[in-house]
């Protein structure tokens, strides 16, 4: 008996490992266009064009969730098991109405494993008619086909963690190196926004009802969990995994960090947990990732803006008749601050463009005015000086400015409030990765009015406006999901919705393609007025590096 039990356990273990391997192979095929053999997937379209490898992956059209998409007149149907194998007699109690005109016919018979294999291999639909010519035909062997169909059967088959019958759970994350004042402002906004969302439920909200008397949408309350990290960054991922195990959530909304965000980014990606629009000036650039979505690249975008300007053949920055290759680029930043990452990113950008490396002049984190002055010695007329400094350091710059071309990080320096001495303002270009103050005035009326009505103190206008915008985007995205609360689908719906938004607070426009994770992609260069006022003068139009 003992032998039989051990043998059975071994069989079950081997079977489980084999199933996991099959699921992994099917996922690689679906998402990356890689067959179990390691060879690239090849698809053939009716017009004769072929697709191969990543270009042939199912995810390109049907998306990671399997729920498909729509673009203009082209509707890509969902291919999850719930839709493919749905009995024809079922009532339309949980279908996503956006796909019905182009896909759903409740009188059609469901696919079987055999008819689905025919559709994938030969483009023949369940009714015997050819599928759309955009659908490639794939020559897949029987074993691989079985793995793929099993994968589709389970794709987005259950609601994501953090979703209950009446509640959607969300987290927001704060790191110990974040600014305390900005953190308090962010939390005030997000808590009030969640309170407003739940206010509609206090009187009792009935589910939405179709003309067939089918309840197809239940209004859920929002529950916020605040995950406050502590200690050194190398412990943050462990803390986050512990938080998630104790408090499963559907997504992370907003959040705030200082100079380190990579552990949070890695955690969200490893847990397939959407992390939407955190307030961070040094995000992680990993466009191949899926679950981390940012408003912009922050100071890294500023570095790209400066690099692009310095690389222009006839740039306005190339004064004094010297080419960019002959000009020294000198960067001043404080160690451990965001400017250190920005300076390194700019150096990488210049190297990629074939430019010589910049000369870095780092300062201690508590550098006194004398140290800043020493970092500016020897600056020549034809140099390019880039200051990655905070307002406190900018205010201690010497009263006389060098005759070099000067760039200042707007994000770090305070944007239009940067305390540049008067002598510096005429020769200094400030990076400005937002809409200009006069242009965003109308858009900002919305959050500012809401702050006033809800008695939310304005402690950091930019952070709080971004937090309000992130919450509003989340609400707009959820409103179009019906009851399909899947994490992958949340990110996909967010991509679809962003480009339709007209009011975006500090940003002129937001958009995300499936391979993009930064919604705002450009910025201005401005000059501050000659006085100490906050007036700005744009030096050219909006630039996307």
- Which two three-digit tokens encode residue 358? 């910049």
**Tens digit of each residue's pLDDT (9 = 90 or more) over 435-490:** 999 999 999 999 999 999 999 999 999 999 999 999 999 999 998 887 889 999 99
Query: b/e per residue, 196-229, with b = 16+ CB within 10 A?
Result: ebbeeeeeeeeeeeeeeeeebeeebbbbbbebeb
Residue 528 main-chain phi, psi, to 5 deg: -80, 160
Closest CA to 287 of 491, 545, 517: 517
**CATH code assigned to 299-432+525-538:** 3.40.50.2300
Give, for all 545 residues of the chain, the pLDDT tens digit: 344 455 544 444 444 444 445 568 899 999 999 999 999 999 998 777 899 999 999 999 999 999 888 777 778 888 999 888 877 655 454 444 444 334 455 556 789 999 999 999 999 988 888 888 889 999 999 999 999 999 999 999 888 999 998 999 999 999 999 999 999 999 999 999 999 999 877 655 454 444 444 444 567 899 999 999 999 999 999 999 999 999 999 999 999 999 999 999 999 999 999 999 999 999 999 988 999 999 999 999 999 999 999 988 755 444 444 555 568 999 999 999 999 999 999 999 999 999 999 999 999 988 887 889 899 999 999 999 999 999 999 999 999 999 999 999 999 999 999 999 999 998 899 999 999 999 999 999 999 999 999 999 999 999 999 999 999 999 999 988 878 899 999 999 999 999 889 999 999 999 999 889 999 999 999 999 866 566 899 999 999 99
Q: What is the domain partition of the chain in residue ranges?
A: 25-154, 167-295+440-512, 299-432+525-538
CATH C-level class of 167-295+440-512: alpha beta
- pTM confidence score: 0.88
Q: Do domains 167-295+440-512 and 299-432+525-538 have the same CATH topology?
A: yes
Q: How far from chain centre, in Å, is Cα 245?
A: 23
Within 8 A by CB and 6+ apart from 450, the residues are 456, 468
- Which two three-digit tokens encode residue 311? 């690389």
Within 8 A by CB and 6+ apart from 216, the residues are 92, 93, 94, 95, 207, 208, 209, 210, 482, 483
């Amino acid at each position: 008996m003992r032998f039989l039990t051990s043998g059975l356990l071994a069989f079950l273990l081997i079977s489980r490992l084999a199933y996991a391997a099959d699921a992994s192979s099917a996922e690689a095929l679906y998402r990356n266009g890689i067959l179990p053999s390691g060879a690239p997937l090849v698809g053939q379209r009716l017009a004769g064009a072929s697709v191969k490898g990543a270009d042939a992956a199912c995810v390109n059209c049907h998306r990671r969730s399997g729920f498909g998409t729509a673009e203009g007149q082209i509707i890509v149907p969902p291919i999850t098991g719930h839709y493919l194998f749905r009995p024809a007699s079922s009532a339309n109690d949980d279908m996503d109405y956006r796909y019905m005109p182009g896909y759903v016919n409740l009188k059609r018979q469901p696919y079987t494993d055999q008819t689905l294999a025919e559709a994938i291999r030969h483009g023949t639909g369940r009714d015997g008619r050819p599928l759309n010519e955009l659908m490639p035909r794939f020559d897949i062997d029987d074993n691989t086909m079985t793995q793929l169909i099993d994968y589709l059967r389970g794709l987005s088959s259950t609601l994501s963690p953090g979703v209950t019958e009446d509640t959607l759970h969300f987290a927001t994350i704060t790191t110990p190196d974040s600014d305390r004042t900005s953190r308090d402002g962010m939390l005030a906004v997000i808590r009030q926004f969640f309170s407003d969302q739940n206010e509609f439920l206090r009187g009792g909200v009935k589910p939405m009802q179709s003309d067939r008397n089918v309840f197809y949408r239940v209004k859920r309350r929002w529950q916020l969990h605040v995950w406050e990290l502590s200690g050194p960054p190398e412990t943050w991922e462990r803390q986050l995994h512990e938080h998630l195990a104790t408090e499963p959530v559907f997504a992370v909304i907003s959040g705030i960090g200082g100079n380190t965000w990579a552990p949070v980014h890695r955690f969200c990606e490893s847990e397939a947990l959407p992390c939407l629009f955190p307030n961070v000036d040094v995000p992680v650039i990993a466009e191949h990732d899926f679950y981390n979505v940012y408003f912009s690249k922050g100071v890294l975008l500023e570095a790209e803006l400066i690099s692009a300007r310095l690389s222009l053949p006839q740039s306005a920055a190339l004064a004094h008749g010297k080419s960019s290759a002959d000009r020294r680029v000198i960067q001043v930043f404080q160690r451990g601050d965001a400017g250190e990452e920005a300076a390194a990113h700019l150096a990488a950008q210049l190297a990629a463009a074939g430019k010589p490396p910049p000369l870095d002049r780092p300062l201690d984190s508590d550098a006194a005015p004398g140290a800043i002055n020493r970092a500016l010695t020897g600056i020549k007329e034809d140099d390019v000086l880039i200051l990655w400094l905070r307002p406190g350091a900018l205010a201690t710059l010497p009263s006389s400015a060098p005759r070099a071309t000067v760039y200042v990080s707007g994000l770090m320096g305070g944007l239009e409030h940067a305390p540049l001495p008067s002598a510096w303002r005429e020769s200094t270009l400030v990076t400005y990765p937002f809409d200009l103050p006069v242009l965003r005035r109308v858009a900002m009326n919305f959050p500012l009015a809401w702050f006033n009505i809800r008695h939310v103190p304005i402690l950091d206008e930019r952070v709080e406006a971004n937090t309000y915008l992130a919450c509003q985007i989340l609400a707009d995205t959820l409103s179009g999901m019906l009851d399909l609360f899947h994490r992958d689908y949340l990110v996909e719906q967010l991509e679809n919705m962003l480009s339709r938004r007209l009011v975006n607070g500090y940003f002129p426009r937001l958009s995300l393609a499936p391979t993009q994770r930064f919604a705002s992609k450009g910025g201005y260069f401005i000059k501050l007025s000659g006085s100490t006022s906050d007036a700005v003068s744009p030096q050219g139009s909006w630039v996307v590096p």
